[in-house]
Structure formats: structure tokens, C-alpha cells
A and B are shown apart, each in its own frame.
Chain A
Amino acid sequence: AQKVTQAQTEISVVEKEDVTLDCVYETRDTTYYLFWYKQPPSGELVFLIRRNSFDEQNEISGRYSWNFQKSTSSFNFTITASQVVDSAVYFCALSEGRISSGSARQLTFGSGTQLTVLP
């Protein structure tokens, strides 16, 4: 069974601070995919990143960076120099690798971390 744990329910930081959102996952698959989604106060879910289990390279996109470590089953997300507009709920999600023809890889979401960036 798949499981995603985001132990941090809420985090508050002051603008310009760096913040790391933790994500720990469980899966029996050797091939799987990990995701981060952002849900701003407006409510929509915005895709941020997808990583597959064979690619442990860290990724940086502007102020965002992701640290994938298979040894600890973690896929953490860091925002550098946080801004008020980063305030949102962030979800980590997991999907299995092998699927049958016609099936879709289903996402298992964590419970989310509410990030508040104060001015």
C-alpha cells in the first residue's frame, strides 16, 4: 500500500526566510513517481514538479528546490527567500510505476502543509 506523510501541518515564516516542507513516502514499487502541488487560497491545485524513482538528482527552479533521497524515502521541498505569495497549502503525492494498459497512475496525496509567509 502506498502512503505519503507530511508531518508538518502548519508552518509560519517571515518573508525572506528559507523554508523546507517535508515529505516521506512508502511504497513497495521499485518504480514510482513523486509530485508536489500547490493550493493557494483561491483553491485550485497547481502542479509544481514530478520526479521518477530512478532520478535522484536534486532540482532547482528559481526559488524552489527539491531534494529526493531514496535512502530515507523523502522528497523535500525548499523555498528560498520566501515571499507572501508563497502562502498556500502544499501537497506531496505519490504514484506507482507499473500499470496495465488503459489504466492511469493514481495519485496518493499527503495531508498537506499550510505555509504562511508573514510580511
Chain B
Amino acid sequence: DAGVIQSPRHEVTEMGQEVTLRCKPISGHDYLFWYRQTMMRGLELLIYFNNNVPIDDSGMPEDRFSAKMPNASFSTLKIQPSEPRDSAVYFCASSLRRGGWYEQYFGPGTRLTVT
């Protein structure tokens, strides 16, 4: 089975530009998570969805960040306008709730550089 797919793997953009990161979760999984990894702050949860509905977006840093999940097989994380401090690796993860627990399976990440 294919794992979580993220695109692009690398993105370099200039400050002020709009950036869109994409994620395809594992088929059948009902939770989708967006994380950001930086040297300073480590791994942070930004937002997660359950059955395509955003449940908790308290980790989204500011209004420049937005995330959508129009269907069960696709999600986007958008930054508009981008700033150099947004440079990080962004991970998408998905999981299936079975009984009391589930494991989160991570995608390969998108390395974003904002110059």
C-alpha cells in the first residue's frame, strides 16, 4: 500500500509569495494531521482533521496559514504571504482510529525555504 504522499518534496520561494503544500493520506484513514519541524521548536502540530472536518487548529501560527481537506484523499496547507521564518519541514500524517488507539503514519515531508 502507498504511504502518505506529500508534494512537493522541496519548495523554494521568495518572501511574500503564496505557498501550497499538498498531502494525500493513506486510503481509508480518517484522521489527517499537519506538523511543522524546525530546529528551534522541534515538531509541532499545526492542525488536524477528522473525516475531512478541521477539529483543532490551535497550532496554526497565524492567519497567514490555512488548511483545507476537500475530500478524504486530499489536503492542502497554504501560507499566504510566506515569510522567511516559515522555513521548515512540513509533515502530513494520517491515521485510522481502531478501538482505543491508532498510529500516525507520516509522509516524507516538504522542505520549505522562504528567501
Contact = CB atoms under 8 A, between A and B. Distances in A.
Contacts of B43: 91, 107, 109
Contacts, number: 49
Interface string B93-115: 10101000101111111010000
A27 interface: no
A68 to B, nearest CB: 16
Contacts of B50: 102-104
Contacts of B108: 42-44
Nearest to A98: B100
A105 B101 contact: yes
Contacts of A50: 101, 103
A106 B103 contact: no
A103 B95 CA distance: 12
Contacts of B56: 103-104, 106
